[in-house]
Structure 1
Amino acid sequence: MQENKTDYILKKGIPRLNNTIGISLGLAALTGVLLIFNLVINNDQSLYEVVKTDGGVVLILILLLFLTVSFVSSIICNHQVRKATAELSYITKSVHTGFLNILLEPGYQVTYANPKFYEIFGYKRYEFETEYDNCFLSFVCDEDQEKIKVLKEQFVNGSYRQIEVKMITRSGDIINVLLDGNFTLTREGEKAFSAVLLNITNFKEMQNKLSLEEERYRIAAEISNDILFEYKVDKDVMKFADKYTEVYGRTPVIEDFSVVELYNKNMVHPEDCQDLKLFARTLKSGKEMMEAEFRIKNANNEYVWCHIRGKTIYDENKEPISVIGKVVNIDLHKKELQKLEYKAKRDLLTGVYNKVTTKEIIDEYLKRNRNSKHILMMIDIDDFKHVNDNYGHLTGDNILVYIMDKIKSIFFGEIIGRIGGDEFIVFVGNIDSLDGIITKANLLREALSTAYEVEDQAVYISGSIGISVYPEDGATYTELINCADKALYSVKDEGKGSYKLFT
């Protein structure tokens, strides 16, 4: 029957130690004999006289000293060996890990194993010995036996190996185990493998489940229009899913992502660069949730609206590690919203801002630009009711569109709005002087003085303009338009077709 390693130490090690101690005691006695022999051979008269005089007392004391030292040493060594043996026995019996030594010879016998090794496979020590002749391969599944057999060819004394194999328990269950150990040579020079055996079945099951989830995740990402990403906070690296290359035509890995100046011209719409920079800073900030919208250039060199959303993952110290998120193409949705927003804010006939939006935009502009001079020009098309009555409302609408197209081309980038049937607003910011006001007023008057052909007949149009100046005439849209309206009716009273500043 195979011996436990601890039993081996107790049964074989202690007797050998006792033999060693016995030899030490014998050597001590021999030393005394040699001392006497030295007296006789060398005829050392002085030492002889001492021994003779003291009746051999000195010699006896010397022998007792050697015996005492040897005895005490044996007690100390014996105690230390027993203590170390007990500690080793406790460790090997209490840990939930197998310890074993396998001979790499035909039979692949286990020459030593701790109790946990047998417990893992559901056997008693004697059952393993009598039923399987200590053969390790008896437990290894057929498809993995070659992994054990090849160890003999790989043998390099003292080198390290780690092997995963499937093994069979007494109940017939297949378990995954990890052998982690070193090659060794026995006293007889036989090749062996000493290893720790870990049951990693639960770990492998979790690993397989994780792999399955990753595969599902990958397939879901492939069939979805969404593009997943992971941002490493410490490395400042953004990694998109492979689909990113297909959709946007760029590498899915971006180093130094927060330094967006390096690539933002190629990545997002120029108007959205600041939004991208803000998003990059937010990624590094550790904020739990983040969202952003900007236009990303796709593989067809077209800018498409995308919604980006991410969630931060933290370590045990609540420090941000990474951000997981997705990029969603919202281009169609965004453009539909823009159409609705356009309709809500615009005059459907002329395309300029409607009355409500005109007021909101001008008031907001005045709040942001309090230290400059601005002008508000209020326009009324002269005798436009006569046009509608004589040529019809459809022709009247066409004339309004024609006039507004001319005004939009001259005052491109300025705030233009329709506030009534034939009343319009042109707001011009940052006027330097009175000459600048006069110049703008003349440009507008000339644009209004035009002719429109209806069935080969010219319809002559003109407009009256009232002008108010910020901040002299008012600090809000309402104050400015009231002053401009008064100036406008003053022009109409004086003959129409001209402009006048509020005084």
Structure 2
Amino acid sequence: MEPRDTLLLVDDQQADRAVLRELFQEEYNLLEAENGDQALLLLEENHTRIAAVLLDLLMPAKDGFTVLAEMRAKRVLPETPVVVITAQDSAARAARAFELGASDFIVKPFEPCAVRRRVRNLVELSRYKRCLEELAEEQANALRQSNEVMVDTLSSIIEYRGAKSGRHILRIRRFTKLLLEELARSCPEYQLDGRKIAVISAAAALHDIGKIAIPDAILNKPGQLTPEEFEVMKTHSAIGCRMLEQLDGMGDREYLRYAWDICRYHHERWEGEGYPDGLRGERIPLWAQAVGLADAYEALTTDRGYQDACSHEQAMNMILNGACGSFSPKLLECFKHLRDAFAALACTYTDDPPAAGGGPLTPHDVSVPHAGGLDMLQTAQVKYLTLLRYVNATVVEVDLDQGVYHMVYDPNPDFALLRSGASFAESMRNLVQRAVHPDDRARVLEFLKNSGEEFFAEGLMKYRHRYRVYSAMIGDYRWYEATLLRIDVDDLHSRKGLAVWREAETAEAEDTRERETALRSLWSGVQCCRNDRWFTLMGVSENFSALVGYTTAELEQRFQNRLTGLILPEDRAEVRRRTREQLTLGSGVELEYRLVRKDGQVIWVLEKSRMVTEADGVEYLYCVLVDISRTKKAQEELRLSLERHQIILAQTNDIIFEWDVAGGTVSYSPNWKERFGYAPMTGGVGEAIPKASHIHPEDAPVFLDALRALMDGAHYEEMELRIAKADGRYLWCRIRATAQQREDGRPIKVVGVVMDIDGEKRANQALRDKAERDGLTRLLNKNSARRRIEAYLSEAEGERAALLIIDVDNFKQVNDSYGHMFGDAVLARLSEEIRGLFRADDIVSRIGGDEFLVFLKRVPDTDLVEERCGRLIEAFQGMFQKELVGWSLSCSVGAALSPEHGAAFQELFQRADQALYRAKRRGKNCYELYRAQKDGGFPQPGAPLMAVGERIDSGGRPGTAEDGLVQYAFRRLYESGDVENTVQDILALVGRRFNVSRTYIFENTPDNRACRNTFEWCSEGVEPQIDRLQHIEYQRDLGGRYEENFDEHGVFYCPDVTRLPKCQYDILEAQDVKSLLQCAIRDNGVFRGYVGFDECVGSRLWTQEQIDALTHIAGFLSVFLLKLRSQQQAEERARDLRIALDNQNSWIYVIDPDTYEMLFINAKTRAVAAQAAEGLRCYQAFLHRDAPCGNCPARDIRRDVNRTVEFYNPVLDVWSLADASLIRWSGREACLINCHDITRYKKTCDPER
């Protein structure tokens, strides 16, 4: 399932979208639409990725209510929640929005934090709802499968009463499923989907449940039933329905409805000859018809007490020919198409028991192959066209209700004018006026004027008349019989018909003259061939012989007059196939293929043929061949040129497009869909894009301007814009377009390229953002804020605004008392608080160490400015009361208004600074508005000219650690023999000392792709997390390179986890973490995990001394833990090596190469030399000697490194081939000796031994 991580912002006002963008851009991907049409287009392409829609009501064209209505009609609601955000505060509007499916209604102006939280809650609620629905569906499926097993079991018990196999039910269900799936493919009007088919096929198991009430004497009677007995048997349908009616309200109502229909009607037949109700045609439920056909096939192909089983072929013929009653023609067509599938399924689920050990066979054990070839509709179409070809008539389908007609089959060029008009009536008038004999025209026109309408109005089925039509082939008029047939005979109000023209009967002499005329009309290489598999030549012209280089006699002698013999072998199958295809649509054939001349040259020919059925009843093709080798050569050169062009295109990521200005269509290179995830807009670009497109609303004017410039005669245009992708993200693209123009300068076509510059734009944006923003607070710096304020003042001339300067009082004391890192954390928190107090489009900036600037746009009055200043003072007073012991944080604010106090930035800044100076002189912790009479003069002598000027240095890391704790932790680790318990004790000591909620250690897996919680201490009331955090993948769970959170000193300090990326925040929120401090574990510069300290009660600010102390302790823990893990790995490898050596089928031991003392003896060696033990010398243990052997394999092993010798052990009476190798064992050099028993080999070579 794709993640829903995108919000769709729908508002025609760019400023309002900018406010919402500022609120949500860090948490979600954003798509934007400026009108209802564009919103619906983006919803259609991205609905699986959109988490919520933020919708304005007042928009041009389609307003918000219309969008909601169309979303509900398309069933996008409530899957995608909609939050209506509007300035129209009306109870009626809110009620209407909720009625149409809106999930929330927010009135502008709004509180940003509240809106962010409401949207986040709504998205989370929607996500939980989808998860619950998926869980419910899984449980329902499990319950349904359980019910199916129970129903199958009960049904099988009933069938066993009737001497049927328990597999009868299984086959009925599978046969029914096959029929319904084929019907769904061939007849979409029945609206059968996979879920409905599954329910019906499951309900089919209950088709004969009523037989439980039929007496055994009737049910199991070996012969035919008497009429009275058959009447009793027929009651099982009604009995079964009564049984199912008792279950109403106790289960799935849809399942029971299908089961009831199947149980009652599966013995009904199409022509009304069934029981119990004698229903006919479509009145019989479709699912009951399918089960009835499946039951009939099952009854014929299995042994019953009253008959033996039929073969598959015999059963097929009996059902198709009505031996089991009549069935729906559509169902029979599906049945014919499934003949192979039915046979395979019957073999798969045979009544023979499964092979031993195979276990019970479930319906999912075997996949029945679907019959290949044509489906039912294709088969019917082929039959239809074959019949038309046989009739050899011109056929037109006419629908007067819709005003459309379709030339279905056109073998005769005499009726080419039937394609000349915009309507059937117009085409007929053209035919009458230009081709019908003058004496017949009035009569035909009269029919068209009156009789055609009367034909349908009076309910006639068929009308026929004759008239003459001019034939260019014979240069004279021919008599034709024209017939009008009604198509839908059951609906007398329908005006659909078939118009058929057939040549009237003529004398044989006229037929002969026509054939001769046809021959005379052909030219170049001419031949007449029979329409068989070889296209046997019946006659050829001299030009044909010259074309291929063979005489008539050579053609007969070498090729038996078979044209296929002259065709290049690679082309023969294709010529046969295309000839058959074209003859199904008419009597004309046009092909291109290759012939092999007598001199071996291969030539391309164009064949034009017409099929004629002669008096002998055989079809002949009269053909003309034209040598087109030069043309094909030119085409091949063109193809290669285009292929080279395509190769070049394939090697670039750019998208090529071509716009046909006159036709209004655009074609693209295939990589558009690969790049954006959906098919591009191809028609009506000029009209569609202004209404709805995938272009970002802010960039659409740029595109439209370029479009207008190209239409007005510009030769080249280039633009950069954002285009939405299917995953809910925008991609920056550069479009270069060049116009091909007529002589008058108007464009014919526009060709160009769409280049992906997303990485380049985002990199530039990141650099620009880095240059414009303060590194600590991420607020705008003074220069970038100034540029934006000056731009606003110049564009919104005369509009009221306010500039505020905020100075944190006595901030130097914070740095001096708690360290610069603590001061940085305070400034970061303050910047967040200030940002949250103002609107998203207000400008907030850090202009100095502890000084901030705020520019408020669209200020209605002075009261708003004073209200915001008062909220700033209150907010500062309530912060850091726990951390800053002995004093409280406060700020002073100075404000100036535009245009009253100035219309330029510098002027406003100076006036606000003067007001700030006055607030400082009042005693700080207050705000002042600029007043000209008080602030306009010069300050007193000795007073500072500006209040803004205090600075702090955030780069240093002063302070000392708490030496006692650090030294104690190091001493405990150094002296401890149990590192793991000591680490746990130190974590507990640190947690209590610093009063944190949780201390812990995470260690990486060997591949560094994941980590696990190996140590944890929790304070009282804090829930342990170690069991839940045993495998955390960095990429999947933490969003990638988690180590990048740590600074150059290996410290990751986050006083507020809500600022972290969503994936990291989610995993921490589940642990109730509010703030954290982590120190990296590194091994030779490689990130191997981290030591962490969590606060779960609230945000916490650490002093520099505390951070230094914890960093030192974490460093000690890291060193000892890495050493411990290294030792454990070495011991584990040694243990594995000993186990491996013990499992070897050789005598293996390890000795000291200097003393020959044994360091290790494997199990097999111990088995043959029980007295051997580690610490003994090998020559003592195995040879009972006082000194090493002269040819000992370990001798000089340091020099040789590897050595192999044969030696005899008289004590054990064995010959050995000993391999000695110099190895490292337990940290020192040793000699491993591997002895292979070769006693049998030696005794075979020398029996005396």
Fold match by TM threshold 0.5 = yes
| Equivalent position to 1:259, from 682, 688, 705 | 688
Aligned to 1:457: 885
Alignment gaps of 5+ in structure 2: 1-522, 531-535, 614-619, 933-1249
| Equivalent position to 2:900, from 465, 472, 481 | 472
| Equivalent position to 1:202, from 633, 636, 639 | 633
Q: Assess if the C-alpha contact under 8 Å between 2:611 and 2:621 holds in 1.
A: yes
Aligned to 1:305: 731
Distance 1:365 1:277 in 2: 21
Distance 1:277 1:209 in 2: 41
Distance 1:327 1:379 in 2: 45
Aligned to 1:372: 799
Kindly provide the amino acid, as one letter, of the partner of residue 703 in structure 2. F
Q: How does 1:109-120 map to 2 (within 5 A)?
A: 111=541, 113=543
Q: Deviations over 1:91-132 (max 9, x none)?
A: xxxxxxx94444558767654549xx96x88x8xxx979998
Q: Are the structure 2 counterparts of residues 181 and 282 from structure 1 closer, same or farther at C-alpha, using a change threshold of 3 Å?
A: farther
Q: Deviations over 1:143-202 (max 9, x none)?
A: 668969x99xx99xxx754332313467643232224577899xxxx9854565433331
| Equivalent position to 2:815, from 380, 383, 388 | 388
Q: Which has the higher helix share?
A: 1
Q: Deviations over 1:367-407 (max 9, x none)?
A: 11102111111122222223322332222222222222221
Q: Are the structure 2 counterparts of residues 475 and 251 from structure 1 closer, same or farther at C-alpha, using a change threshold of 3 Å?
A: same
Q: Assess if the C-alpha contact under 8 Å between 1:104 and 1:191 holds in 2.
A: yes
Task: Using the TM superposition, give the Cα deviation of residue 211 of structure 1 relative to its aligned residue in structure 2, in angstroms.
Answer: 7.1
Distance 1:192 1:451 in 2: 99
Q: How does 1:27-176 map to 2 (within 5 A)?
A: 99-102=524-527, 104=529, 111=541, 113=543, 141=568, 161-168=589-596, 172-176=600-604
Distance 2:524 2:741 in 1: 35
Tell which deviates more after alignment, 381-390 or 139-148.
Answer: 139-148
Q: Are the structure 2 counterparts of residues 174 and 411 from structure 1 closer, same or farther at C-alpha, using a change threshold of 3 Å?
A: same
Q: Are the structure 2 counterparts of residues 401 and 322 from structure 1 closer, same or farther at C-alpha, using a change threshold of 3 Å?
A: same
Aligned to 1:52: none
Q: Assess if the C-alpha contact under 8 Å between 1:451 and 1:458 holds in 2.
A: no
Task: Using the TM superposition, give the Cα deviation of residue 337 of structure 1 relative to its aligned residue in structure 2, in angstroms.
Answer: 3.5
Aligned to 2:749: 321
Distance 1:367 1:243 in 2: 44
Work out the percentage of aligned pairs sharing the same amino acid: 25
Aligned to 2:874: 446
Q: 1:422 and 2:850 equivalent?
A: yes
Q: Size of the alignment, in residue pairs?
A: 383
Name the SS of the counterpart of 2:828 in structure 1.
helix
Distance 1:314 1:380 in 2: 62
Aligned to 2:929: 500
Q: Are the structure 2 counterparts of residues 253 and 391 from structure 1 closer, same or farther at C-alpha, using a change threshold of 3 Å?
A: closer
Distance 1:100 1:309 in 2: 53
Task: Using the TM superposition, give the Cα deviation of residue 361 of structure 1 relative to its aligned residue in structure 2, in angstroms.
Answer: 0.8
Distance 1:469 1:428 in 2: 9
Q: How does 1:181-196 map to 2 (within 5 A)?
A: 193-194=623-624, 196=626
Task: Using the TM superposition, give the Cα deviation of residue 310 of structure 1 relative to its aligned residue in structure 2, in angstroms.
Answer: 4.5
Name the SS of the counterpart of 2:699 in structure 1.
helix
Distance 1:313 1:362 in 2: 41
Q: Assess if the C-alpha contact under 8 Å between 1:359 and 1:477 holds in 2.
A: yes
Superposition TM-score, scaled by structure 1 size: 0.61
Kindly provide the amino acid, as one letter, of the partner of residue 279 in structure 1. F
Aligned to 1:34: none
Kindly provide the amino acid, as one letter, of the partner of residue 492 in structure 1. K
Kindly provide the amino acid, as one letter, of the partner of residue 735 in structure 2. R
Tell which deviates more after alignment, 138-147 or 303-312.
Answer: 138-147
Kindly provide the amino acid, as one letter, of the partner of residue 858 in structure 2. N
Distance 1:144 1:481 in 2: 85
Q: 1:402 and 2:826 equivalent?
A: no
Aligned to 1:355: 782
Q: Assess if the C-alpha contact under 8 Å between 2:605 and 2:625 holds in 1.
A: no
Q: 1:273 and 2:700 equivalent?
A: no
Q: Assess if the C-alpha contact under 8 Å between 1:417 and 1:425 holds in 2.
A: yes
Distance 1:143 1:406 in 2: 79
Distance 1:216 1:474 in 2: 63
Distance 1:195 1:210 in 2: 28
Task: Using the TM superposition, give the Cα deviation of residue 357 of structure 1 relative to its aligned residue in structure 2, in angstroms.
Answer: 0.5
Distance 2:855 2:884 in 1: 35
Name the SS of the counterpart of 1:298 in structure 2.
coil
Name the SS of the counterpart of 1:273 in structure 2.
coil
Task: Using the TM superposition, give the Cα deviation of residue 427 of structure 1 relative to its aligned residue in structure 2, in angstroms.
Answer: 0.8
Name the SS of the counterpart of 2:778 in structure 1.
coil
Distance 2:622 2:723 in 1: 65
Q: Are the structure 2 counterparts of residues 420 and 303 from structure 1 closer, same or farther at C-alpha, using a change threshold of 3 Å?
A: same
Task: Using the TM superposition, give the Cα deviation of residue 453 of structure 1 relative to its aligned residue in structure 2, in angstroms.
Answer: 4.0
Superposition TM-score, scaled by structure 2 size: 0.27
Q: Assess if the C-alpha contact under 8 Å between 1:102 and 1:136 holds in 2.
A: no
Distance 1:252 1:227 in 2: 11
Name the SS of the counterpart of 2:888 in structure 1.
strand
Name the SS of the counterpart of 1:452 in structure 2.
coil
Kindly provide the amino acid, as one letter, of the partner of residue 198 in structure 1. I
Name the SS of the counterpart of 2:834 in structure 1.
helix
Distance 1:191 1:303 in 2: 60
RMSD of aligned C-alpha atoms?
Answer: 4.6
Name the larger-Rg structure.
1
Kindly provide the amino acid, as one letter, of the partner of residue 814 in structure 2. V
Distance 1:274 1:103 in 2: 69
Q: Deviations over 1:332-382 (max 9, x none)?
A: 554444332221111111121101111111111111110211111112222
Task: Using the TM superposition, give the Cα deviation of residue 411 of structure 1 relative to its aligned residue in structure 2, in angstroms.
Answer: 1.1
Task: Using the TM superposition, give the Cα deviation of residue 500 of structure 1 relative to its aligned residue in structure 2, in angstroms.
Answer: 3.1
Aligned to 1:80: none
Q: How does 1:209-224 map to 2 (within 5 A)?
A: 209=640, 212-213=643-644, 216=647, 220=650
Distance 2:778 2:704 in 1: 37
Alignment gaps of 5+ in structure 1: 1-97
Distance 2:705 2:599 in 1: 58
Aligned to 1:436: 864
Q: Deviations over 1:205-228 (max 9, x none)?
A: 23652674587478x38xx86665
Q: 1:342 and 2:769 equivalent?
A: yes
Q: Assess if the C-alpha contact under 8 Å between 1:179 and 1:198 holds in 2.
A: no
Q: Assess if the C-alpha contact under 8 Å between 1:283 and 1:323 holds in 2.
A: no
Q: Assess if the C-alpha contact under 8 Å between 1:233 and 1:323 holds in 2.
A: no
Distance 2:572 2:861 in 1: 96
Distance 2:674 2:632 in 1: 39
